[in-house]
Structure 1
C-alpha cells in the first residue's frame, strides 16, 4: 500500500460532514479523512449512544425511529456548533429538515455513494442496523436509497465509494476538497 498523499495547504475552517447510505463506509472513511486533515473525528451514532447510554438498536426498540431521529438532530446540531471536525452521520440523518439545513449552511458536505449490491454486502455484515431487521433487507435498502438520494444529492461533493481500500475513497475526497477550496472557508456570521 502506498503512502497517503499529503496536502499541507488544505485547511478546513468549517466541519466536513459525510452523508450517505449505511454501509458506504462513512465511519471508516471519516476516521481516515480526519487524520489526513488533522481534525477531530465524530461518528453521530456513537455520540448518540454516548448521550443516551444505550445502543442505536436499543434506542429504536425502546423509543422508535422518530424519537431516535429527534435525538440524532440534537446531537448533530451540538457537534456542528463546535470547531471544525469530520462528522460521519447516520444514513437517515438527512431526513430531518433542520439537520439538512444546518449541514447546508455550516459545513462542507460530502455524499459517499455506492451501488446497491455493495451497500447490501457491507450493511449485512453487521446485525446492529435496526432498519434491516426484517425479512428483506435488500428491498429495505432499495426503498431507503430512493427516499434519501434526493437529500444526499444536495451535498457539496459527490464521491463514489471504492471497492478497494477505504484509503482510495479518502484520496478522492481530499482531491475533491483541494479542487474546491472555496468550500473550506469560514462561515461569515451575520452582523448584529
Structure 2
C-alpha cells in the first residue's frame, strides 16, 4: 500500500515523506521530480514558459506512471497535484481500492508562508503577496484535500521525526 502525502506548499510533504520512507525502508518518490522529468523543465520554468496548464498535464502523466509502476512507496505529491486533470479521480480510486492511504499534512498559513519564503524554485501561483496567495490556496484547495484524505496530521509544533512517525502510524490504522 502506498502512503501518499498531500497538502499545501510548505506543509512538509517532501521532508516528512523522505523520513517516513527511511523508517519503512520503502522507496520515496517526490512527484515534483517525476513531473519535472515528464515536462523536461523545472516547475518554475514550466510555469513561466508553458503555463500552469502544461505543468498540470505533466503532473497527471507523472501521477499515472508512478501509481501504475511502483512497489508500495511513500509518495509526496505537489501542492496542486489534486487539481491536475484526472488526478483526484485516480487518487480516489487508489484510496477506495485499499491501495493507498492519503495523508493530509496541515500547518497554519503563516507557518506555510515562512517555510517557503526562501525557496526561489517555487513558482508564484498568483500575483498576490505570499500570505494572500497561501490563504487563497487554502480556501480553494482545502476542502478537496480534506475529502481525499484518509487521515490528517498537523505538522505545526512537531519535528520532522514526529511527523514521519505519525505518517508511518497510518499504515497500522483502520
Q: Assess same fold via TM > 0.5.
A: yes
Q: What is the Cα deviation at residue 176 of structure 1?
A: 3.3
Pick the aligned partner of 2:170 from 161, 176, 183: 176
Which range moved further: 164-173 or 20-29?
Answer: 164-173
1:161 aligns with 2:148: no
| Match of residue 87 from structure 2 | 99
Q: What is the DSSP-based 3-state SS (H/G/I as helix, E as strand, rest coil) of the residue aligned with 1:87?
A: strand
Alpha-carbon separation, structure 2, partners of 1:68 and 1:176: 30
Q: What is the DSSP-based 3-state SS (H/G/I as helix, E as strand, rest coil) of the residue aligned with 1:178?
A: coil
| Match of residue 65 from structure 1 | 52
Which range moved further: 105-114 or 170-179?
Answer: 170-179
Pick the aligned partner of 1:110 from 86, 89, 103: 103
Provide Cα deviations, 1:135-182, integer angstroms capped at 9, x if missing partner. Answer: 5111011001110011110211111113342111111222233222xx
What residue ranges of structure 2 are gaps of 5+ in the alignment?
A: 95-99
Alpha-carbon separation, structure 1, partners of 2:53 and 2:120: 21
Provide Cα deviations, 1:39-89, integer angstroms capped at 9, x if missing partner. Answer: 111101111122333111001111100111011011011101122111101
- Relative to the length of structure 1, the TM-score reads 0.81
**158 and 164 in structure 1: CA distance in 2 versus 1, 3 angstrom threshold:** closer
Which range moved further: 103-112 or 156-165?
Answer: 156-165
Q: What is the DSSP-based 3-state SS (H/G/I as helix, E as strand, rest coil) of the residue aligned with 1:90?
A: coil
Q: State the superposition RMSD in angstroms.
A: 1.6
Q: What is the DSSP-based 3-state SS (H/G/I as helix, E as strand, rest coil) of the residue aligned with 1:177?
A: coil
**100 and 136 in structure 1: CA distance in 2 versus 1, 3 angstrom threshold:** same
Q: What is the DSSP-based 3-state SS (H/G/I as helix, E as strand, rest coil) of the residue aligned with 1:16?
A: strand
**148 and 122 in structure 1: CA distance in 2 versus 1, 3 angstrom threshold:** same
| Match of residue 30 from structure 2 | 43
Alpha-carbon separation, structure 2, partners of 1:17 and 1:85: 8
**85 and 102 in structure 1: CA distance in 2 versus 1, 3 angstrom threshold:** same
| Match of residue 120 from structure 2 | 127
What residue ranges of structure 1 are gaps of 5+ in the alignment?
A: 1-13, 181-192
Alpha-carbon separation, structure 1, partners of 2:126 and 2:106: 22
| Match of residue 140 from structure 1 | 133
Contact 1:34 1:41 (8 Å CA) reproduced? yes
Which range moved further: 28-37 or 155-164?
Answer: 155-164
Q: How many residues of Structure 1 are paired with residues of Structure 2 in the alignment? A: 167
Alpha-carbon separation, structure 2, partners of 1:132 and 1:156: 27
